[in-house]
C-alpha cells in the first residue's frame, strides 16, 4: 500500500465526491465544472488517479474517465482496472446485437480506446498492479469461452507492480 498525503486525499475526495461540480443554475455551470475537474485532475499523480478510478461512479457517464485515460500520469494498471470495471463483455455483446443506447456507445468507445492503448503499449507508466481475475481483493469469474470470444486475450493478462489498497471515499 502506498501512503497518501493529506493533499492527495483531498484531491481524490474532491473529484470522487463531485465537489468540483458547479450547480448554481447558471449558463456556464457545465464549463466551470469541467474547468474545476481538469484543474484538479492535472495536479494528480498516477497513484491518485488510481484511487479516483476506484471510486468512480459509472452512472455519471465516462467523460471523466476519458480524461483520466488521456492523462500523462495514467498507469497501464489503472487503465486495465477501469477497463474491467466497465464490464466490456456485457457491452460488446450488446454492441454485436445492435442494442446500445447512446450512453452505452460512449462506454464502448472508452473500452475500445483503453484496449487499443494497452495492446499498443501507449501508457508511459506501468507501475501499478492489476489482475483482471482478482481486482481490488475480489476474485472475479472471468475468462469463460464466451468472454474470450469477445475480449482480446491481452486484456486478461495480469500486470505486475505496486498493489494499491483503495482509499474509499
Per-residue pLDDT of the chain (169 residues; tens, 9 = 90+): 468 999 999 999 999 999 999 999 999 999 999 999 999 999 999 999 999 999 999 888 899 999 999 999 999 999 999 999 999 988 999 999 998 998 899 999 999 999 999 999 999 999 999 998 887 555 566 656 677 778 888 998 999 999 998 888 7
Domain count, the chain: 1
The reply to whether 146 falls in a domain is yes
CA distances from 167 to 13, 56, 91, 131 (A): 9, 12, 28, 18
Query: What cell was used for 144?
Result: 469463460
Q: What is the largest CA-CA distance in the chain?
A: 51
Domain range for 129: 6-156
The reply to whether 87 falls in a domain is yes
Nearest one of 117, 41, 36 to 75, comparing CA atoms: 117
Amino acid at each position: 500500500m502506498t501512503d497518501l498525503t493529506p493533499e492527495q486525499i483531498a484531491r481524490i475526495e474532491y473529484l470522487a465526491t463531485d465537489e468540483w461540480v458547479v450547480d448554481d443554475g447558471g449558463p456556464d455551470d457545465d464549463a466551470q465544472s469541467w474547468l474545476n475537474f481538469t484543474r484538479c485532475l492535472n495536479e494528480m499523480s498516477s497513484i491518485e488517479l488510481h484511487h479516483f478510478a476506484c471510486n468512480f461512479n459509472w452512472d455519471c457517464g465516462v467523460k471523466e474517465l476519458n480524461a483520466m485515460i488521456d492523462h500523462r500520469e495514467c498507469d497501464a494498471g489503472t487503465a486495465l482496472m477501469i477497463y474491467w470495471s466497465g464490464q466490456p463483455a456485457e457491452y460488446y455483446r450488446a454492441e454485436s446485437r445492435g442494442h446500445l443506447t447512446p450512453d452505452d456507445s460512449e462506454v464502448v468507445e472508452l473500452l475500445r480506446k483503453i484496449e487499443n492503448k494497452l495492446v499498443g503499449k501507449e501508457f508511459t507508466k506501468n507501475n501499478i498492479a492489476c489482475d483482471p481475475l482478482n481486482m481490488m481483493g475480489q476474485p472475479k469469474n472471468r475468462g469463460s469461452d464466451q468472454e474470450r470470444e469477445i475480449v482480446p486475450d491481452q486484456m486478461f493478462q495480469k500486470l505486475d507492480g505496486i498493489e494499491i489498497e483503495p482509499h474509499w471515499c
